[in-house]
Amino acid sequence: MLFWSSMNISATLTILGLYVVAINSIEITCKYDNYNKWMLNVQSHFTPQHKQLIYECIVTDIEIASNHDDARKVTNVSGIHDQHKSNEHVKSFGIGNRIVHFMPKELDKFFTNLIVLDVYATGLQEIVKDDLKPFKDLKYLSLTGNELQTIDFDLFVYNPHLEVVLLWGNKIETVNDAFENLLKLQYLSFKNNPCHSGVARHSHNQLTALIKEIHNNCEPDYEKAFEQAKSVLKMIQQNEDKLIVGSSELKSGQNSVFVRLNVIYAGLIVAVVNFRS
């Protein structure tokens, strides 16, 4: 029986390189229409006259429960476009109330002009910079009502044109200075998160104050990370003989699962120690 108290099964299988089932890529179906979106400009304050009609794909069927690349790869997009419209006219992509724990990959092969990305109430567990890398013209990002816990410092490195970032209703406890370089940011909603709750719009002073509050209240707990790394390493060392791995080759020589896991967590401890010093 393979048991990890500090790692979920999916992550463990990824580390070990064991994939017990074949994972298929995904096809999605869009409902295309013109939707009203709150789009900002320098003078706007989210008043009704600043709503814009944006041609959008609303996904009607999708499920992504695995973080494996193939399980996230979009291979086909179907749906009936409005007259004289095609994929190149799609500016907004939305998924709501579906099971999407991880962001779909290769959307940019179908939608090359997205400026709005809206993933709400899907149970989204993580998002990293490479998920947003294809969308360099992104202006509006909404990830509300999800399960996000961490916002990496480099999450928006490929998205310098972001004006609206909505993160309310998540479980965010750690933010690694993610917002400082968003020079065009005009609206940030961080309400109802464990480490902080707040919203700022349009006012540079309000945005600066909120970002500072988030920085102060949601700073990574390096002491906790250090203790967790030590605990996991100790667990691996103490339970090596109790773990059963399905491939005998993995138990030998430099390919040992336990050797590799020890290296991973020992490296994590060293990294945390170096950062603290």
Cα 191 from Cα 170, distance rounded (Å): 9
Residue with tokens 């109790």: 242
Q: Which of 131, 159, 127 is nearest to 73 (CA)?
A: 131
> Is pTM beyond 0.75 here?
no
- pLDDT for residue 262: 55
Q: What is the CA radius of gyration of the chain?
A: 21
> By residue range, what is the domain housing residue 225?
221-276
Cα 107 from Cα 62, distance rounded (Å): 13
227 shares a domain with 207:
no
Cα 26 from Cα 165, distance rounded (Å): 27
- pLDDT for residue 220: 82
Q: Count the Cβ atoms, other than its own, within 10 Å of residue 260.
A: 15
CATH number, domain with residue 46: 3.80.10.10
Q: Tokens at residue 28, please?
A: 């999605």
50 shares a domain with 32:
yes
Q: Tokens at residue 78, please?
A: 């179907």
Cα 51 from Cα 157, distance rounded (Å): 27
- pLDDT for residue 202: 83
- pLDDT for residue 4: 38
235 shares a domain with 197:
no
Domain for residue 105, yes or no?
yes
Cα 26 from Cα 69, distance rounded (Å): 11
- pLDDT for residue 25: 77
Cα 217 from Cα 174, distance rounded (Å): 8
149 shares a domain with 85:
yes
- pLDDT for residue 36: 76
Q: Which of 89, 147, 137, 87 is nearest to 117 (CA)?
A: 137
> Number of structural domains, the chain?
2
Say if residues 129 and 159 touch (Cβ distance below 8 Å): no
What Å distances lie between residue 151 and 125, 163, 177, 182, 218, CA to CA? Answer: 11, 17, 8, 14, 10
125 shares a domain with 137:
yes
Domain for residue 271, yes or no?
yes
Compute the Cα dihedral for 62, 66, 227, 180 and give only its sign: negative
Per-residue pLDDT of the chain (277 residues; tens, 9 = 90+): 333 334 444 444 344 343 333 446 799 999 999 987 665 543 444 444 556 789 999 999 999 999 998 999 999 999 999 999 999 999 999 999 999 999 999 999 999 999 999 999 999 999 999 999 999 999 999 999 999 999 999 999 999 999 999 999 999 999 988 998 899 999 999 999 999 999 998 899 999 999 999 999 998 866 666 666 667 667 766 666 655 444 444 444 444 444 455 555 555 555 555 555 4
Cα 103 from Cα 128, distance rounded (Å): 9
42 shares a domain with 96:
yes
- pLDDT for residue 128: 97
